[in-house]
């Protein structure tokens, strides 16, 4: 079987490399067959790759002869799906070439999206993200809602893996809203990923709620293959809520079906958290058996991700208690191999998260331990130094995330106090400052009255307000209005308008729970911002935190 697979790979590779040179003739009996017929035939033969490729090649040849670039893209995509993972990039590049010949933004974007998905399947996340961004640049120019949200979903997956959870939540929330009435499987996939993100930011209640919705919706939509994944996610969430027995029970029940699907990645993650649950219950022998399963997946499949590196820390700690220096050395080697794999598959992730992971130090200390093993001497200092280095790497993985959240939480609390103080002081005079010497007092008072009316009537919610337009509305001039706002409001004009919009939106979010479910785009519209990016920047400048964090705290009931 393995020999057949190797032969097939070589044949397909040869096809990709020489297809331009080799003359391929469509059989007479198939020359006038439609694209639909050829595609149906290839799909019906998916279990026989060689026969399926016979029809795919005819499909591609027909499209080339007719210079039908759209169908050529589709033909290369069919070839990509039928090919081994190691040559799919060649077909993805061919898709991009044909799509560019068609000069269709949606088609080009879709081709780059396919290439990004291939990179993602190879765990090359930085390459995947680069191609998703290019795809988004093309697809954003279209009205193809399905493609737009497909890009958002895939970018959300990468953002989650890279640890940008707030950004992933924003993207996935939009996907859930769109796919709910469009397509069951992407809808449930988006819900599942959203729950994972909520767990990562510590919102365990919302994670539980999302998983319950996912299980219920899987039944309603008769897409039960997603149910074990929601149970799996909920089991991991129970671990973080310190319900270790419940976590073990849920994850173990979910792994029965997930194992049958040969989804080794989620099996490894499940084994990791079952092991950690037993570890917390002080059943270290049971825990180690699950940690070894995670390592076995790494050895057999090459699958590893940053959080799973903790397996090696715990295995090393376990064998230290057993005075088994040989086992400690083995798992230090495994740790080094795992870090190397992460570096090879995703340099961006390592650069972003593992700057403190000094592999050279670990190698040096490992060599020292080998020398001690040969001489039958053991020095605790060497082992401790390795553990310190290891802990430094693990701590750095979570440091930035929790530091940012701590800062945001402080900003949120300060903002709540500030709002209460402002509400108490509403009756106090605002315009008790000294007069502006070079502007007539009557003019100043007139402008201040109009500004007060402008604020009361919430005219600042209008889009594209400019200093020129407002000065004209007040029968004043730009210079006077700018000076008066700077003097009495202590802000530049743009900052003044943005502050009014953000204050209005903060008040609305506090009073209307429905608004809390809006996307950033909808919130920007509500507050009269001309773009989502301007709104996000203004909110961060005014409050010191992203919108998603502010809403999250409101939902937790911290007001």
User: From CA 165, how far away is CA 194, in angstroms rounded?
Assistant: 9
Count of the separate structural domains present in the chain = 1
**Range of the structural domain that residue 548 is part of:** 436-556
Greater confidence (332 vs 430) lies with 332
The H-or-E segment that residue 292 falls in is helix 284-301
pLDDT for the residue 20: 43
pLDDT for the residue 361: 47
- CATH code, domain carrying 525: 1.10.10.60
**Per-residue pLDDT tens over the stretch 488-498:** 888 888 888 88
Greater confidence (466 vs 193) lies with 193
Weakest mean pLDDT among 25-34, 98-107, 188-197:
25-34
Q: What are phi and psi of 462, to 5 degrees?
A: -70, 145
pLDDT of 248 above 70: yes
Span 400-414, mean pLDDT? 67
| Cβ burial, residue 147 (10 Å; 0-12/13-18/19+) | buried
The residue length of the chain stands at 559
In a domain, 59, yes or no: no
**Per-residue pLDDT tens over the stretch 467-496:** 888 888 888 888 888 888 888 888 888 888
**Per-residue pLDDT tens over the stretch 271-296:** 999 999 999 999 999 999 999 999 99
User: From CA 266, how far away is CA 225, in angstroms rounded?
Assistant: 14
Pair of tokens at residue 297? 């997946």
DSSP letter, residue 202: T
In a domain, 488, yes or no: yes
Percent of the chain with pLDDT over 90: 37
In a domain, 534, yes or no: yes
Span 36-45, mean pLDDT? 84
User: From CA 62, how far away is CA 42, in angstroms rounded?
Assistant: 14
pLDDT for the residue 128: 87
In a domain, 453, yes or no: yes
pLDDT for the residue 5: 43
DSSP letter, residue 19: T
User: From CA 93, how far away is CA 115, in angstroms rounded?
Assistant: 7
pLDDT for the residue 255: 97
Span 176-190, mean pLDDT? 94
pLDDT for the residue 3: 45
pLDDT for the residue 247: 97
Greater confidence (334 vs 85) lies with 334
In a domain, 468, yes or no: yes
User: From CA 172, how far away is CA 178, in angstroms rounded?
Assistant: 10
pLDDT for the residue 433: 59
In a domain, 142, yes or no: no
Span 57-65, mean pLDDT? 88
In a domain, 460, yes or no: yes
User: From CA 536, how far away is CA 543, in angstroms rounded?
Assistant: 11
In a domain, 474, yes or no: yes
Residues 6+ apart with CB under 8 A from 279: 287, 314
Question: pTM of the prediction?
Answer: 0.58
């Amino acid at each position: 079987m393995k020999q057949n697979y190797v032969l097939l790979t070589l044949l397909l590779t040869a096809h990709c490399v020489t297809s331009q040179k080799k003359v391929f003739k469509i059989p007479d009996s198939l020359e006038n067959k439609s694209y639909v017929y050829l595609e149906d035939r290839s799909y019906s033969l998916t279990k026989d790759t060689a026969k399926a490729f016979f029809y795919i090649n005819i499909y591609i040849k027909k499209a080339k002869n007719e210079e039908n670039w759209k169908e050529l893209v589709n033909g290369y995509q069919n070839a990509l799906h039928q090919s081994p993972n190691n040559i799919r990039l060649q077909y993805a590049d061919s898709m991009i070439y044909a799509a560019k010949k068609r000069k269709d933004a949606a088609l080009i974007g879709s081709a780059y999206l396919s290439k990004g998905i291939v990179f993602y399947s190879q765990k090359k996340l930085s390459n995947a993200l680069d191609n998703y961004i290019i795809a988004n640049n093309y697809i954003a120019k279209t009205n193809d809602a399905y493609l737009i949200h497909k890009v958002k979903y895939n970018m959300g997956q990468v953002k989650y893996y890279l640890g940008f959870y707030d950004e992933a939540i924003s993207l996935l929330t939009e996907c859930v809203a769109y796919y709910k009435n469009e397509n069951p499987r992407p809808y449930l996939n988006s819900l599942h990923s959203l729950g994972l993100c909520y767990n990562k930011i510590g919102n365990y209640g919302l994670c539980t709620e999302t998983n319950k919705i996912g299980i219920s919706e899987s039944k309603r939509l008769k897409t039960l293959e997603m149910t074990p994944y929601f149970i799996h996610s909920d089991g991991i969430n129970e671990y973080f809520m310190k319900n270790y027995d419940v976590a073990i029970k849920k994850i173990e029940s979910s792994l029965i079906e997930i194992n049958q699907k040969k989804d080794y990645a989620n099996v490894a993650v499940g084994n990791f958290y079952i092991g950690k649950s037993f570890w917390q219950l002080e059943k270290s022998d049971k825990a180690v058996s699950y940690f070894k399963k995670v390592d076995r997946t790494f050895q057999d499949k090459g699958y590893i991700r940053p959080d799973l590196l903790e397996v090696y820390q715990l295995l090393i700690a376990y064998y230290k208690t057993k005075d088994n220096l040989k086992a400690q050395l083995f798992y230090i080697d495994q740790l080094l191999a795992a870090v190397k794999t992460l570096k090879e598959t995703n340099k961006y992730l390592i650069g972003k998260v593992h700057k403190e992971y000094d592999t050279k130090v670990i190698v040096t200390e490992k060599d020292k331990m080998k020398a001690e093993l040969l001489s039958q001497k053991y020095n605790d200092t060497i082992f401790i130094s390795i553990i310190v280095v290891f802990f430094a790497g693990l701590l750095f993985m979570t440091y930035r995330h929790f530091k940012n959240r701590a800062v945001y939480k402080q900003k949120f609390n300060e903002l709540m106090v500030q709002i209460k103080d402002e509400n108490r002081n509403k009756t106090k005079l605002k315009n008790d400052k000294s007069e502006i010497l070079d502007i007539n007092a009557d003019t100043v008072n007139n402008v201040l009255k109009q500004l007060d009316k402008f604020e009361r009537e919430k005219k600042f919610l209008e889009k594209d307000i400019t200093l020129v337009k407002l000065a004209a509305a007040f029968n004043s001039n730009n210079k006077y209005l700018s000076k008066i706002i700077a003097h009495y409001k202590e802000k530049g004009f743009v900052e003044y308008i943005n502050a009014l919009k953000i204050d209005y939106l903060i008040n609305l979010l506090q009073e209307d729970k429905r608004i809390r479910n809006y996307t950033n785009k909808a919130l920007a519209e509500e507050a009269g911002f001309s773009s989502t990016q301007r709104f996000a920047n203004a909110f961060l400048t005014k409050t010191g935190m992203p919108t998603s964090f502010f809403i999250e705290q409101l939902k937790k009931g911290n007001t």
